Chain A
Amino acid sequence: DAGVIQSPRHEVTEMGQEVTLRCKPISGHDYLFWYRQTMMRGLELLIYFNNNVPIDDSGMPEDRFSAKMPNASFSTLKIQPSEPRDSAVYFCASRPGQGMADTQYFGPGTRLTVL
Chain B
Amino acid sequence: SQKIEQNSEALNIQEGKTATLTCNYTNYSPAYLQWYRQDPGRGPVFLLLIRENEKEKRKERLKVTFDTTLKQSLFHITASQPADSATYLCAPPSHTDKLIFGTGTRLQVFP
B111 at interface by CB-CB < 8 Å: no
Total residues of chain B contacting the partner, CB 8 A:
22
Complex interface residues of chain B between 58 and 111 (CB less than 8 A to chain A)? 89, 93, 96-104
Name the distance in Å between A5's Cβ and chain B's nearest Cβ. Answer: 11
The minimal Cβ–Cβ distance linking B104 to chain A, given in whole angstroms, is 7
- Tell me whether A101 and B93 are in contact (CB under 8 A): yes
Q: Given A43-B89, A108-B43, A109-B43, answer yes or no on A103-B34 (Cβ-Cβ < 8 Å).
A: yes
Q: B46-58 interface mask toward A, CB cutoff 8 Å, 1 = contact, 0 = none?
A: 1001010000000
With A and B bound together, what is the CA distance between A103 and B33 in angstroms? 11
> CB distance B44 to A106 under 8 Å?
yes
Give the residue among A35, A41, A100 with the most B Cβ atoms within 10 A: A100
Q: Which residues of A contact B100 (CB under 8 A)?
A: 45
